Structure 1
């Protein structure tokens, strides 16, 4: 059984007021919930048009009020930028406010430029991240938080607000390489990859091998990939709209890399190259369903994450694509 999720950078649409972008996205998120999407994942970015949710918890508190069944959370909280005690309390609040529908990703932050704006050297981000994660996990599973580390120290802090989910809400982690799958498997953490199917398959194989060695039994975590998706009535319509929107998204994505004189090769710059790398699926409902089925099999997935809103897609274009996806693609795959 494969579940569907949504990943969202909440990137800027040029010429559209931020207030309109936020409200349009919340309307779309309500539609995700009604369509049967299992989970909404929100990125965290800073000082870049790639992400208009630098404080994911703030936006997600609105998501909690606009949805009923769908789970949601950040993908990821950039832990080096957080004071763990305050984040523990935010997580517990969101889990309580949503009736146990909150889940969260953890990471050190993909962009060294964004972390540097906070005065954190990229070499120090890793150790801070690992210590923050341990403090976070301890606080979520304890009545009283005691922690002694190099960066964080807590003595007998009462955990007054606690999560609905015990021992803590489900966690997520982004995996870029096969080697990166072992740690989340050891922690029973769900994973999502942006990598092409061949690399993603090596990662899911590594995950399952680690799980079998350390836990035994069937894997209960979600193993997914995230792809830009656009569903149109015709292939020509889908290619035209998706190509335009992807180009706008890429300009948002590359903004900070160009500002600092670095061209990042991790993402394809055109629709054609993105399609070659399994990064985008654009076409008719039949084509999109067939390609998703192929990727699920090729990458060994039990979870498929779509980006329905990106670049300069209007609310009408994104919601139209979602409607076709929900009516003609999802039933074919989920049965």
Structure 2
């Protein structure tokens, strides 16, 4: 069982963005020293949910302030990229990080964000699949040629090659059964999110399709079976239950407001609403459905153990810094997680 870090870097609202960036770099250094496996960064656009909508820039900064922890997007929104340009970016980041890059890919869950880039949500899955094939061809070719309805490359020189051969490990994050099945069919590492019951269903679909595929596309021997099966959870740890709730409640409320920002902007767009992943606003509801874990180290460890047992996980991404949370509180939560929670799962 291993633990990673997930982050949107959503707008806190009470301090300058430059300060937030500095705080996140400090936090990343602490997570690196604490022994977390990987730091995953989201990609969203035109929303306070995500202040690093060009994740490659942020990953380049992280690569220079960390030493051991793996790094990567979860996910690059492939319909928004030129496969050639993205392949070159991946090569740069793999070398900057000295081979610590893990690449998450996806199509984008928000119809609003896709529409801003002139991508129809109904077309995005087909575009994603095509872009994924083109990207992998580019990463594994010295002369890149690929032809489809959307992309046409012929004998493009690829002097930049990934440090990790043939490519960095590929991940897929999904909150629905269709994406979970695709990830299993292609042997990718997998992470889900949301309430435990929904995430459990996604993981079950992934496992069924992965079993048919037979083996991981990019094996990780440090994980059982060579494949990551994980889930993301917002987590707040403190010395007492009351202190953990004090920190978690305003941070969770602010984060949820950021999460649902575009839904409010497009409140009259009833057709688009159906594509949004359901979210629960209240802290108590999120704790009840398993998407948020709050409490003392003992409580947090117990809740994690229950989810590991229920979903059959070998990986959990701890979302420890979000919303209005102060750096000092996030660092204290991280330290308690490192010293009193992670050791319980070392074996």
- TM-score normalised by L of structure 1: 0.96
Kept in 1, the 8 Å contact 2:196–2:291? The answer is no
Q: Match of 1:59, SS?
A: helix
Alignment of 1:173-192 (within 5 A): 173-192=172-191
CA RMSD of aligned residues (A): 1.5
Alignment of 1:61-140 (within 5 A): 61-140=60-139
Displacement after TM superposition at 1:197 (Å): 2.5
**Which moves more between the two structures, 110-119 or 220-229?**
110-119
Instruction: Return the alpha-carbon distance in structure 2 between the equivalents of residues 206 and 12 of structure 1.
Output: 34
Kept in 2, the 8 Å contact 1:29–1:67? The answer is yes
Kept in 2, the 8 Å contact 1:229–1:308? The answer is yes
Aligned to 1:303: 315
Q: Match of 1:219, SS?
A: helix
Displacement after TM superposition at 1:179 (Å): 4.4
Aligned to 1:164: 163
Alignment of 1:280-291 (within 5 A): 280-291=292-303
- TM-score normalised by L of structure 2: 0.93
Displacement after TM superposition at 1:202 (Å): 3.0
Deviations 1:172-227 (A, max 9, x none): 11122344322212222111111332333333333333333331697321001101
Instruction: Return the alpha-carbon distance in structure 2 between the equivalents of residues 265 and 209 of structure 1.
Output: 23
Deviations 1:37-60 (A, max 9, x none): 001100001111000001000000
Instruction: Return the alpha-carbon distance in structure 1 between the equivalents of residues 209 and 301 of structure 2.
Output: 31
Aligned to 1:227: 233
Instruction: Return the alpha-carbon distance in structure 2 between the equivalents of residues 196 and 172 of structure 1.
Output: 20
Residues 1:216 and 1:23: Cα distance change in structure 2 (over 3 Å): closer
Aligned to 2:328: 316
Instruction: Return the alpha-carbon distance in structure 2 between the equivalents of residues 106 and 265 of structure 1.
Output: 18
Count of residue pairs brought into register by the alignment: 334
Instruction: Return the alpha-carbon distance in structure 2 between the equivalents of residues 49 and 35 of structure 1.
Output: 28
Displacement after TM superposition at 1:21 (Å): 0.7
Kept in 2, the 8 Å contact 1:208–1:219? The answer is no
Residues 1:61 and 1:216: Cα distance change in structure 2 (over 3 Å): closer
Instruction: Return the alpha-carbon distance in structure 2 between the equivalents of residues 124 and 178 of structure 1.
Output: 18
Displacement after TM superposition at 1:242 (Å): 0.5
Q: Match of 2:225, SS?
A: coil
- Please state if 1:250 is matched with 2:262: no
Structure 2: segments with no counterpart, 5+ residues = 217-223
Structure 1: segments with no counterpart, 5+ residues = none
Instruction: Return the alpha-carbon distance in structure 2 between the equivalents of residues 33 and 62 of structure 1.
Output: 14
Instruction: Return the alpha-carbon distance in structure 1 between the equivalents of residues 114 and 261 of structure 2.
Output: 15
- Please state if 1:26 is matched with 2:25: yes
Q: Match of 1:282, SS?
A: strand
Kept in 2, the 8 Å contact 1:33–1:69? The answer is yes
Instruction: Return the alpha-carbon distance in structure 2 between the equivalents of residues 20 and 31 of structure 1.
Output: 17
Residues 1:154 and 1:216: Cα distance change in structure 2 (over 3 Å): closer
Displacement after TM superposition at 1:332 (Å): 1.2
Displacement after TM superposition at 1:152 (Å): 1.2
Instruction: Return the alpha-carbon distance in structure 2 between the equivalents of residues 85 and 147 of structure 1.
Output: 10
